């Protein structure tokens, strides 16, 4: 197995471990939210989101290993930089939202809408990170099919998710 394939596998595993860390934070924050009468909105799409994000990691690995995708330095390093930028943006969002950040859409009555950090400029900066990572991670090793399939399916998912989240945020604002 070529060295760049090994490094790609390490990168995908590292992103997978990062996602597990997110789930730990999310579970802790969900508990915090429920202790404050928080309720979940738009839960119906959540299982699809979990499958899609798992599919991104698995699909990228399978495509690279079975289709023998090559590492093209200009594309690969640029996409690697975008993966790192996406991770930095995601963790900035997590830090700024604090206990209110979750992989689920949870409304805590009386909580204030966060408008600092990246939320000063964008309503949903975490989804920018997801979109960037969704095409950039597979393209580190030219896995264009995975990048394309994830991007199309994720666009459909985000249409539903952002609609549900905006509705939840309106409920939050109305309650305040």
Domain of 54, CATH number, reads: 1.20.120.1630
3-state secondary structure (DSSP) of residue 11: helix
Query: Domain of 51?
Result: 3-175
Compute the C-alpha angle 153/40/16, nearest 5°: 45
Could you tell me what percent of the chain has a pLDDT over 70? 97
CA 45 from centroid of its chain's CA atoms? 14
Q: Structurally, how many domains does the chain consist of? A: 1
So what's the pLDDT on residue 176? 52
Token code pair at residue 156: 């459909």
Radius of gyration of the chain (CA): 17
Global pTM value: 0.93
pLDDT at 5 over 80: yes
Largest Cα–Cα separation, the chain: 57
Strand partners, 160: none
Torsion of CA 56, 62, 67, 73, to 10 degrees: 60
pLDDT tens by residue, 36-58: 999 999 999 999 999 999 999 99
């Amino acid at each position: 197995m070529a060295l760049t394939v090994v490094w790609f596998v390490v990168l995908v595993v590292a992103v997978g471990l990062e996602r597990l860390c997110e789930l730990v934070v999310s579970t802790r924050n969900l508990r915090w939210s429920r202790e404050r009468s928080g309720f979940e909105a738009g839960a119906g799409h959540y299982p699809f989101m979990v499958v899609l994000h798992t599919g991104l990691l698995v699909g990228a690995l399978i495509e690279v290993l079975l289709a023998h995708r090559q590492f093209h330095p200009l594309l690969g390093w640029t996409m690697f930089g975008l993966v790192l930028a996406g991770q930095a943006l995601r963790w900035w969002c997590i830090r700024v939202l604090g206990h209110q950040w979750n992989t689920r859409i949870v409304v805590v009555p009386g909580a204030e809408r966060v408008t600092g950090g990246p939320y000063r400029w964008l309503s949903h900066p975490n989804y920018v990170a997801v979109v960037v990572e969704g095409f950039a991670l597979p393209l580190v090793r030219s896995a264009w099919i995975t990048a394309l399939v994830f991007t199309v399916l994720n666009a459909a998912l985000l249409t539903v998710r952002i609609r549900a989240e905006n509705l939840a945020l309106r409920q939050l604002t109305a309650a305040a």
